[in-house]
Structure 1
Amino acid sequence: MTAFTLAHLSDPHLAPLPAPRLHQLAGKRALGYLNWRRDRHKIHRRDVLDTLVADLRAQSPGHIAITGDLVNLALPDEFTQARAWLESVGAPADVTLVPGNHDAYVRVTTKQTSQWAEYMRGDSAGTGAPLSFPFLRRRGPLTLIGVSSAVPTRPFMATGSLRRSQLDMLEQGFSQIADEPSFRVLLIHHPLSSKASYKRLTDADALLALIKRHRVDLILHGHDHVRSTMWFEGPLGRVPAIGVPSASATPHRNYPAAAYNLFSISREGDSWRCEQRVRGFADGAAVEKAEVTELQRVQLI
């Protein structure tokens, strides 16, 4: 079987930040704006993001997954800017998006996020249908399972939550695809384990219990702005959860420069083979190849 390539990037935090109106800088946005003006505008650069995306597109992946945080303060003009950026990455059929906490920075962003709806709509949803999570998309040999951990939080907090209704629907979705032999990829913004309580997924234990009962072959997330691999227990063995640096970042403190992942997925007899490649900036200078890692072989039942 010819390998299918899935590209993964996250946390573009699109720059430049549109000029906010005074009435928009209340509460959490005011703190975020001060933080952006102080140092974040130096870290998240559009030229870095554009170079990374150009390199990604040159690899001609079969599909692209983006795991949230397109915007910074969830200003209305940011969502319009992000829609134009999404279109430059690819068509809705070729790009799957799940939102991040910055995309839900304040409670008035639901209508704005709908500008990206085509990128977050499952195959069975009709055109114009309201956004609903989780959603399923089938691309090549993959079943992409998108969930939203994006919820508004108080200042100085960046936690995420799926909530009971979404977890219940996810359980139903897993049951519906139980007999399908596809390679299953779960897309979520928040990592399933975090040492920082203010950044954690609050109902991670409930999600991990689902993954322990239902087969998931690969988990992709963002949020932490670092390259990471964690392993969690699934019904057929350990499941890799892969994080990636911010797609627009210059190296700073303990955070690396921008990078993205390429996953080569192929069926070999009664099992799946998944191989990871990382491409990113070396010392902030240029996109380069990094090592290749074989993540796992998933034996089919």
Structure 2
Amino acid sequence: MSYVLAHLSDIHLGPLPAVTTRQLLSKRLTGYINWHRSRAASMAGTALARITSAVAASGADHVAVTGDLTNLALEAEIRAAAIWLEELGDPHDVSVVPGNHDAYVQGALDKAFEAWSPWMAGDDGHAPKRNEAFPYVRRRGPLAIIGLSSAVATPLFVAAGRIEGEQARNLATVLAETGEQGLFRVVLIHHPPVRGATLPRKRLYGIKLFQNAVARHGAELVLHGHTHLAQRHWIGGPAGTRVPVIGVPAAGQGVGGSKPAGAYNLFEIESDGGKWRCHMREWSATTETGPLRLSDERTLWP
């Protein structure tokens, strides 16, 4: 029997709530200007509602959301994102990791961890409260869903992420344990763990640590967001294997912008005689109305 996983990312819930002058005395000022200059027009349409409706109707057993639920990480945005997550699905059936917009200023990520903890709680019942405590692990059907946090507050005009130290060591341990258990390991991370996948100021620091863990212990699938693009990369696994690294366009992106229209990916995963099969379909909101369009289809395993 197959297990179906849906993936969406970069929600950027709008419209922006009321913002005080004091809140704008930070990096938030440039984000506020950027929202009103470009993102309000491109992300305030019907794409997100259509995609979430399609995900609900897809029959997916689980939904993965890889960050940037907010724009400026305002408290009102973080609360609104929690409400949106409640509408998306039961915490048992939805897994979330944060993105750089959710850590837009110092202290914001702590509030997101608290508000979204039901969707980041591992099988032990505990949700990480700091990056060093990630990843969390959730066993769902044949899957081990492994959630990382690359979200860190950064200076003006920088949108980089970071995986280092304790979190990198924890990842290696978790990959080894879940691999020994014979699970299909799905790693969730906001920033793409691939060199050259995005601009230097938006890159992930710690790519080598991430890839070394995968090269040594293996993984079956890595899902990310951040770039707002339908990216397909491969990184090395043990014994010459290759691990797919899949990015998805921003779920709220409307038609006609500089980035691809909003989309979500659907992965059908099953075990066949001890060997994994994984088939992917990308569904896109490439028209203003009507059903989503199948925009990509491929087999990732074997």
1:288 alignment partner in structure 2 = 293
- Determine the structure 2 residue equivalent to 1:92: 91
Equivalent runs, 1:244-283 vs 2, <5 Å:
244-283=248-287
The equivalent residue for 1:167 is 168
How far is 1:46 from its partner? 5.2
Residue 147 of structure 1 is matched in structure 2 by: 148
- Could you tell me whether the CA contact under 8 Å between 1:14 and 1:46 is conserved in 2? no
Q: Give unpaired runs (5+ residues) of structure 2.
A: none
Partner of 1:201: 204
- What percent of counterpart residues are identical? 41
Is the 2:219–2:237 contact (alpha carbons within 8 Å) kept by the matching residues of 1?
A: yes
Q: Deviations over 1:78-98 (max 9, x none)?
A: 011101000010010000000
Question: In 1, Cα distance between the equivalents of 2:56 and 2:231?
Answer: 23
- Give secondary structure in 2 for the equivalent of 1:24: coil
Which residue does 1:217 correspond to in 2? 220
Q: SS at the partner of 1:72?
A: coil
Q: Deviation at 1:37? A: 1.0
Deviation at 1:195, TM superposition (A): 4.1
Describe how 1:108-187 pairs up with structure 2 within 5 A: 108-113=107-112, 114-126=114-126, 130=129, 132-187=133-188
The answer on 1:15 being equivalent to 2:14 is yes
CA distance in 2, matches of 1:129, 1:19: 29
- Given that 2:79 and 2:115 are in contact with CA atoms closer than 8 Å, whether structure 1 keeps it comes out as yes
CA distance in 2, matches of 1:101, 1:291: 27
TM-score by length of 2: 0.94
Q: Report 1:47-58 matches (<5 A).
A: 47-58=46-57
Conserved? CA contact 1:10–1:245, under 8 Å: yes
SS at match of 1:249: coil
> How many Å apart are 1:208 and its aligned residue?
0.6
2:183 maps to a residue whose letter is S
Q: Classify 1:253/1:88 alpha carbon distance in 2 versus 1 (closer, same or farther; 3 Å).
A: closer
Detail structure 1 runs of 4+ shifted over 4 Å in the superposition. Answer: 128-131
- The alpha-carbon deviation at position 75 of structure 1 amounts to 0.7
SS in 1 for 2:180: coil
Find the residue that maps to 2:78 and give its secondary structure. Answer: helix
CA RMSD of aligned residues (A): 1.5
How far off is 1:129 after superposition? 7.2
Could you give the per-residue CA deviations for residues 140-195 of structure 1, whole angstroms, max 9, x where no partner exists? 11001110000000010000001211111112222333411111100000001224
C-alpha contact (below 8 Å) 2:128/2:136 kept by paired residues: no
TM-score by length of 1: 0.94
Deviation at 1:39, TM superposition (A): 1.1
Instruction: Map residues 36-47 of structure 1 onto 2, 5 A cutoff.
Output: 36-45=35-44, 47=46
Verify the 8 A CA contact 1:16 1:46 in the aligned structure 2: no
Q: Which amino acid aligns with 1:119?
A: W
| Larger mean Cα displacement after TM superposition, 143-152 or 245-254 | 245-254
Distance 2:45 2:82 in 1: 15
Aligned with 2:53: secondary structure? helix
